[in-house]
Chains A and B, each alone.
Chain A
Amino acid sequence: MVRVLIVDDAAFMRKLLKNILFTGGFDIAGEAENGKQAVELYKQLKPDIVTMDIVMPEMNGIEALKEIRKIDPNAKVVMCTAVGQEQMVKTAIKLGAKGYIVKPFQASKVIEELKRVAEL
């Protein structure tokens, strides 16, 4: 089963994603509430995919993506973006993000994108 690390500073968003991914047949490897924690957990948990919020305290999603890609150049990171953050998504894709999902999430789109990234 594909293991996902969920990174978002909003507990509600983490719970929502957890529910969507669990229902879609993914395994939840762990949760982080900022970029710094995400990098640490990535080292420990070695998840197959990371869903990464962009705007977060301590370390934002773009910085965390860079750090994770340093640790693992093949890391599969999917950016979670809000409408209006298209520019940041473009930057993230250039930095090696494998995909993006837009808030508010629609379960079917999230599952579709993560399956695409996981090559399922």
Chain B
Amino acid sequence: MSEKLLLKVPVEVFEGGNWIKTEAAIYSSYIQLGKKEIQFKQIRDLEYSYLNDQEAVKILADSEYYINFGKYQKQVFRFLAFNLKADKFAVYFISPAIRGGVIVSNAKWEKGYLAITENALWFLSPNKQVRIALEYLGSVGKEKRSVGGKQRVVLKLTHVDNNEVIVSYVLCPETTLEMLEQYINQLIEQQKPKEKLSEIEEQVLTMIYSGVDSSSIESILGISTEELNKIYDKLINLGLARLVKIRKEVELTPRGVSFVDDIMKKAVR
């Protein structure tokens, strides 16, 4: 291929469990990595990743690549994000507009793209490349907002980042907005668990989000540890929660009881 070489940079590529030093040549439509060529049109997903204590760009193309571009990491990431195999729509966006229920004070409209790949949705602008994995999308809907002093219909997107609910806004022509709403809604529906949650399961989920501990959940809902464990299991199986700690319940042995007896005696001495 005779294409314009944009950047030649020493990189480290993760192969066979090790980081291997090599060189990457970035052309206008592909990356030359040793003997391998990664065509941009093959890149289905892209994200920052940590592997063996190194920050790398994870590229999902014909196979999975972990590449550390060193000091060019951000620059290359931005370039690749704009060249992903994606459905791209020219939009204005604010992301994040609200984080954890608090309005982001310095948030402003940016001109860029909303790109949709098979795994993620991206907000792309020269300053920002925000990747939202599809499983982190919460809801999409239209809303009226004042934009530049005029009431405009915008698309409101809720998603999750670092365990916080984020709200982002998209502004584009109304016909595109309608289509985007339907498209994103379909993606969200595909991610949703097929099974419905009961009221009590929804309440447990809400309390976990709020940071309420297991004992308090039991006491608030008036349920036993066994009942709560069953609900946890269901939430884990549905991919809505993950196990972080197994709670230990203990009772004293006769030796333990005698120890407590001694402690009490010491206290009254």
Interface positions of A (Cβ within 8 A of B): 12, 15-16, 19-20, 23, 83-84, 100-102, 104-109
Contact = CB atoms under 8 A, between A and B. Distances in A.
B220 A15 contact: yes
Contacts of B158: 83
Q: What size tier do the contact residues of chain B reach?
A: 20 to 34
A88 B220 CA distance: 29
Contacts of B212: 16, 19-20, 107
B220 A107 contact: no
A48 to B, nearest CB: 22
A109 B101 contact: yes
A64 to B, nearest CB: 21
Nearest to A108: B211
Contacts of A12: 203, 206, 220
B264 interface: no
Interface string B190-213: 000000000000010011011110
A101 B101 contact: yes
A20 B207 CA distance: 10
B100 A16 contact: no
B216 interface: yes
Nearest to B163: A106
Given A15-B220, A16-B212, A20-B210, A104 B102 contact: no
Given A19-B216, A83-B165, A83-B167, A104 B143 contact: no
B143 A106 contact: no
Given A104-B165, A106-B100, A84 B143 contact: yes
Interface string B212-227: 1000100010000000
Contact of B210 (A83, A100, A105): A105
A104 B220 contact: no
A109 B216 contact: no
Given A19-B212, A102-B98, A109-B102, 12 more contacts: A16-B210, A20-B211, A23-B216, A83-B98, A83-B101, A83-B167, A84-B143, A102-B100, A102-B102, A104-B206, A105-B101, A109-B101
A23 to B, nearest CB: 8
A24 to B, nearest CB: 11
Given A16-B220, A104-B165, A109 B206 contact: no
A16 B207 contact: yes
